[in-house]
């Protein structure tokens, strides 16, 4: 099964076709609903599309501080966004 777009500018125009290009009559008409169905345990899931890159995805928010602690196995770390880039770094908070 392959996802094919009937309108190259509309990511929500996807239909499923077989290997020969014949429509099998299915597609995603409600992408937000699909994301909620696929990740039913996460109420904060949301659908995001990027027409320029011709992609869409289900996204959810995360607690970046928890990720820092988990990745480094070190309690008390905090996530700080880099001012010059769209990245995050893990730091120990300043002692006051």
pLDDT computed for residue 26 by the predictor: 67
Mean pLDDT of the chain: 83
Per-residue tokens: 58? 């289900």
> Mind listing the pLDDT tens digit for each residue in 28-50?
777 788 788 888 888 788 888 87
The listed range with the strongest mean pLDDT (34-38, 42-46, 64-68, 81-85) is 64-68
pLDDT recorded at residue 1: 66
d(CA 69, CA 90): 8
% the chain with pLDDT above 70? 93
Question: What are the E-state strand segments in the chain?
Answer: 2-5, 14-17, 23-27, 46-50, 55-59, 78-81, 88-91
Rounded to whole angstroms, the Cα distance separating 63 from 58 reads 17
Handedness of CA 27, 32, 33, 37 (dihedral sign): positive
What's the pLDDT at 80? 93
Sign of the CA dihedral running 10, 14, 18, 22: negative
pLDDT at 5: 76
Is 64 or 94 the better-scoring residue by pLDDT? 64
């Amino acid at each position: 099964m392959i996802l094919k777009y009937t309108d190259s500018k509309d990511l929500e125009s996807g239909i499923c076709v077989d290997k020969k290009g014949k429509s099998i009559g299915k597609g995603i008409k409600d992408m937000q609903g699909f994301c909620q169905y696929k990740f039913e345990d996460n109420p904060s899931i949301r659908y995001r599309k990027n027409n320029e890159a011709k992609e869409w995805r289900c996204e959810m928010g995360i607690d970046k501080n928890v990720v820092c602690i988990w990745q480094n196995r070190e309690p008390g770390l905090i996530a700080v966004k880099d001012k010059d880039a769209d990245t995050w770094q893990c730091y120990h908070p300043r002692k006051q």
